[in-house]
């Protein structure tokens, strides 16, 4: 996958703290962190070293505690994440986290103090032995204010803190990429656009995937009436996710009003065309990885504008009236 697609997918992975690399509590707590996501792929044995930069954006010094927390996808399949309670982490995960350390230079850190507007570069390090389990690890490196920090593991909220998420994939994928399109649908009948599509993709692999694809909309004559490009998004191992289109992910997109009108509970893809008439066929083409597999599925919907319904109803009413009059005279 090229760099642009990686950046788009990064924007679609929701952070535990905030969507941006910025955390602020009035004028007393303000931090920035880069990158918001570390994606690491290694084959054992390996020594992992990944840098991150944290900056104090306020005029006051900040005393920060460093903690690691494992996360998983929320059951809502909407891209949000849930922090896993330490007691619920599997034994392999517990052993793994004991090896993860944060360093500044050659000094291991459990806390850090940042002066006003100070920026520091830290490195995440761990050794992957040759007999390490072949699997994915998902966790966050979190910086908590020691003055006013609280951490709610049940609701994945961080008060007075900021973090960067880490996706670490150890070893080659076992058995290749596996998954399926669990749902692809649109409203059966519409009187106007835009048209919402629900697309749920299930990742049955033991590794994360970043599927790509598109939806082609064909009119009743088989001509292409529209195209919706699917935003590349992370789907973590053994989880599902509702996908969105690339226009919604654009910072310049002005679709909020459309999304509110559609009132869909799940994330959706949007064909923004407002005037639609006739029977349409939507064909989804989904590629789970650069090497496949590829899935194709379709759905149909009927569009009749309100004024067309009114005209048809009026014609039927007038025709029925004329028929009854003629029949009565006969």
Cα–Cα distance measured from residue 30 to residue 171, given in angstroms and rounded to the nearest whole number = 38
H/E segment holding residue 261: helix 256-262
> Residue 180 in contact with residue 204, Cβ under 8 Å?
yes
Of the ranges 217-226, 230-239, 248-257, which one carries the lowest mean pLDDT score?
Answer: 248-257
Cα–Cα distance measured from residue 20 to residue 303, given in angstroms and rounded to the nearest whole number = 39
| Confidence (pLDDT) at 34 | 94
State the chain's maximal CA–CA distance in angstroms: 104
| Confidence (pLDDT) at 232 | 92
Q: Is 208 helix (H, G, I), strand (E, B) or coil?
A: coil
Cα–Cα distance measured from residue 291 to residue 210, given in angstroms and rounded to the nearest whole number = 12
CA 141 to chain centre: 19
DSSP state of 188: S
Decide if pLDDT at 150 tops 80.
no
**What tens digit of pLDDT does each residue of 151-168 get?**
554 444 455 678 999 999
**What tens digit of pLDDT does each residue of 239-255 get?**
999 999 988 765 444 44
Global pTM reads: 0.80
Residues facing 284 on adjacent strands: 215, 297
Residues facing 203 on adjacent strands: 179, 239
Sign of the Cα torsion 78, 84, 90, 92 reads positive
Query: Which band of pLDDT confidence, cut at 50, 70 and 90, is reported for residue 230?
Result: very high
Cα–Cα distance measured from residue 269 to residue 259, given in angstroms and rounded to the nearest whole number = 10
Residues facing 68 on adjacent strands: 141
H/E segment holding residue 140: strand 135-145
**Which stretches within 2-154 are classed as H helix?**
3-12, 91-97
Q: Average per-residue pLDDT in the chain?
A: 82
Cα–Cα distance measured from residue 83 to residue 144, given in angstroms and rounded to the nearest whole number = 15
Rounded alpha-carbon distances, angstroms, from residue 267 to 110, 243, 264, 306: 38, 7, 7, 27
Cα–Cα distance measured from residue 12 to residue 265, given in angstroms and rounded to the nearest whole number = 18
H/E segment holding residue 302: strand 294-303
Q: For residue 45, is the peptide bond before it cis, meaning its omega torsion is within 30 degrees of 0?
A: yes
């Amino acid at each position: 996958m090229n760099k642009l697609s990686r950046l788009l997918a990064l924007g679609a992975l929701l952070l535990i703290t905030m969507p941006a690399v910025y955390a602020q509590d009035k004028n007393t707590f303000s931090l920035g962190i880069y990158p918001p996501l570390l994606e690491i792929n290694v084959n054992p044995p390996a020594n992992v070293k990944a840098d991150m930069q944290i900056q104090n954006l306020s005029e006051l010094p900040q005393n920060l505690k460093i903690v690691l927390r494992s996360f998983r996808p929320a059951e809502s399949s909407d891209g949000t994440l849930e922090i896993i309670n330490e007691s619920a982490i599997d034994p392999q995960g517990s052993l793994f986290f004991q090896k993860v350390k944060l360093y500044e230079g050659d000094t291991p850190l459990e806390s850090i103090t940042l002066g006003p507007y100070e920026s520091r570069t830290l490195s995440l390090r761990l050794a992957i032995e040759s007999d390490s389990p072949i699997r994915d690890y998902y966790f966050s490196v979190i910086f908590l204010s020691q003055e006013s920090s609280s951490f709610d593991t049940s609701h994945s909220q961080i008060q007075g803190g900021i973090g960067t998420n880490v996706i670490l994939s150890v070893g080659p994928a076992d058995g290749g990429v596996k998954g399926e399109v669990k749902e692809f649908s649109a409203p059966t009948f519409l009187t106007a656009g835009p048209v919402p599509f629900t697309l749920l993709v299930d990742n049955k692999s033991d590794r994360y995937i970043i599927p790509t694809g598109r939806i082609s909309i064909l009119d009743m004559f088989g001509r292409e009436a529209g195209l919706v490009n699917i935003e590349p998004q992370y789907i973590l191992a053994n989880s599902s996710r509702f996908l969105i289109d690339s226009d919604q992910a654009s910072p310049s997109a002005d679709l909020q009003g459309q999304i509110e009108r559609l009132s869909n509970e799940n994330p959706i893809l949007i064909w923004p065309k407002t005037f639609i008439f006739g029977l349409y066929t939507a064909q989804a083409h989904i590629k789970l990885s650069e090497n496949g597999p590829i899935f194709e599925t379709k759905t149909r919907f009927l569009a009749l504008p309100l004024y067309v319904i009114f005209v048809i109803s009026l014609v039927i009413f007038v025709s029925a009236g004329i028929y009854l009059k003629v029949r009565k005279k006969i």
